[in-house]
Amino acid sequence: MLKEDTHPASVWWKNSVEKSFVAGWLAKSVWKNRNSRRYIALLKFRNRWRAGKINVCNLPDMIIFAPSEAEAGHVARRTLNHEIFMYLSPSLEFDSSRDVRHSVSHELAHIALGHLLPMDSREHIENEADLKAAEWGCGRRTHGKRIFSKLTQRL
């Protein structure tokens, strides 16, 4: 009989990532798709945490909203069973793997640091999240600003 995996990283994965998929928040095109940069970034984070390579005290359960990049829009009736909600944009699929890993770590760092309420200094919390992501081995973006936002600004 398999022993239940009670490592906090595995519990977080089950209660947040898996549940987000089952509840329809995390798209099928992202879930267990080895071509999905968002899925790979989440998986690498979980694996590094589980292997003790990064120091994560604990993360609360959360909804991870990662819609499909193929859909132009979507409507659904769903209930939020978690207080914490993390959005991962479909446009991340067009960033480099390194930048996606940074973005995912940066958002998880906001949660780990308790940046869930409006704060006075936005820049301060962004720097704090960047520093935490760097501490987890996911330093600043290679090209600074996101490629996708550079593209949309040209339109």
Residue numbers of the site for Zn ion (CB under 5 A)?
126, 129
Q: Residue 74, Cα to own-chain centre: how many angstroms?
A: 20
CB of 76 to Zn ion, least distance (A): 26
CA distances from 35 to 97, 151, 153 (A): 10, 22, 27
CB of 106 to Zn ion, least distance (A): 6
Nearest CB to Zn ion, comparing residues 4 and 120:
120
- Apex 111 CA angle, 108 and 114, nearest 5: 150
CB of 114 to Zn ion, least distance (A): 13
Nearest CB to Zn ion, comparing residues 119 and 151:
119
Q: What is the rounded distance in angstroms from the CA atom of residue 19 to the CA atom of residue 26?
A: 9
CB of 113 to Zn ion, least distance (A): 10
Nearest CB to Zn ion, comparing residues 53 and 124:
124
Nearest CB to Zn ion, comparing residues 6 and 121:
121
Q: What is the rounded distance in angstroms from the CA atom of residue 38 to the CA atom of residue 150?
A: 20
